[in-house]
Amino acid sequence: MDRYSRTKIIDRWTRLAAIAWVATFALSFAWQWNDARHDALGFAVAEARAVFNRDLVVHRWASRHGGVLVAARPGAPGLTEVVNPSEFIRETHAMSLDKDGTTARIVSLTPRISQNRPDPWEAAALRRFSSSNDEYETYGVARENGHAVLRYIQPMTVGPSCIQCHSDEHLRVGGRHGALSVTLPMTTFDRAKRKRVATAALFHALFGGVGLAGIIWTSRRFRRHARIQEESERRFRLFYENAPIAYQALDAVGRILEVNGAWLKMFGYVRSEVIGCPLSSLVDPVQLDALADWLKTCRGSGTMGYVELNLRTKVGVTIGVSLQSCAWQGFGESAGEIHSVVRRRQAGDPGPGHDGPASQGA
């Protein structure tokens, strides 16, 4: 693998790791942001339910007692008047409007007074309540005067005390009639949500940045080690290609995996002509059994195997060579040297031995 390919792989994995890391923290932050938003809405709804339940108790108490007896309006000293339950609830919330902004009022599709007439959102909820007993509340966030508010409405159940004021409407005890509508500012809940989101953002930015820096630092270390390894391989390749001794590498079945320049010079081939070819295609046919035994020895023992064979050059000339190879442990592949034995045979020496580097091209 060349330097570009190795570096490219490191860069690819670095990018994938960085993207995965950032995506993980982005998804985590999105989940926490969504969770904070849902919690803020949930707390606001719980607060609105509490307001509804409190006002419902007040309404029932006032209805049971036929209203609340209070001093008459200014201009009529000494006189008293009865305030009906819906007016009592509306006035008490008007007193606290400047303090927390929460309002509540009773609304109906058939209001007896104009103050109980519903707005479009309340009217739509009332129609749903009247058409289905399964729906018991409706709420949603809206904007009023540039501020976010929670609008909450829940139907009211007709009690025996309600018949006193609504006897002409033929109501049924236990049935639904009207609803209590609550408007609650989201300011406090949004402030808590923003604080929670800011904390989560700081946490994710801090730890996400540390993790991203770790990925980059690790990538640089890998690149540095890769450069050291590449330089070592470059030097080995330079030595291998320019060595005066012919080297070759074979796979487990004897196909040529690699040769150096001295090997190509000895036999006259170019690299593309021999890589992947079986060594047996260059061997004298009568020596194929000897080649097979030699390959078996190299694979089986893992020790240096020696054999002398006649190999065919590109121009068709057969030269005698000696092969010394051993297997790579656990891979079944072998690597070793090839030496010419032409001069030794011409001198009548039966061997083993070889002619030496100076005669590799003989």
Structure token pair of residue 71: 């001093």
Q: How confident is the model at residue 4 (pLDDT cuts 50, 70, 90)?
A: low
Residues 2-30, mean pLDDT to the nearest whole number: 86
User: Nearest to residue 154, comparing CAs of 29, 270, 53?
Assistant: 53
- Quote helix, strand, coil % in the chain, to nearest 5: 55, 20, 25
Residue labelled with tokens 């270390």: 221
Query: Side by side, which strands form the sheet with 103-107?
Result: 103-107, 176-185, 147-157, 138-144
The mean pLDDT value of the chain amounts to 81
Backbone angles phi, psi at 157, to 5 degrees: -95, 135
Residues 268-287, mean pLDDT to the nearest whole number: 92
What integer pLDDT is reported at residue 362 of this predicted model? 41
Q: How confident is the model at residue 359 (pLDDT cuts 50, 70, 90)?
A: very low
What integer pLDDT is reported at residue 239 of this predicted model? 80
According to the per-residue pLDDT averaged within each range, which of 8-17, 59-68, 227-236 is highest? Answer: 8-17
Residues 351-357, mean pLDDT to the nearest whole number: 55
Task: Report yes or no on whether pTM surpasses 0.95.
Answer: no
Residue 273 clears pLDDT 60, i.e. is over it = yes
Tens of pLDDT, residue by residue over 95-139, are 555 566 788 888 888 887 788 889 999 999 999 888 877 778 899
Percent pLDDT > 90 in the chain is 33
What integer pLDDT is reported at residue 77 of this predicted model? 63
Residue 199 clears pLDDT 50, i.e. is over it = yes
What integer pLDDT is reported at residue 84 of this predicted model? 65
What integer pLDDT is reported at residue 72 of this predicted model? 62
Residues 255-283, mean pLDDT to the nearest whole number: 91
What integer pLDDT is reported at residue 361 of this predicted model? 44
Check if the beta carbon of residue 294 is closer than 8 Å to that of residue 307. yes
Q: How confident is the model at residue 168 (pLDDT cuts 50, 70, 90)?
A: low
**Domains of the chain and any CATH numbers:** 3-192 (no CATH), 243-359 (3.30.450.20)
What integer pLDDT is reported at residue 70 of this predicted model? 61
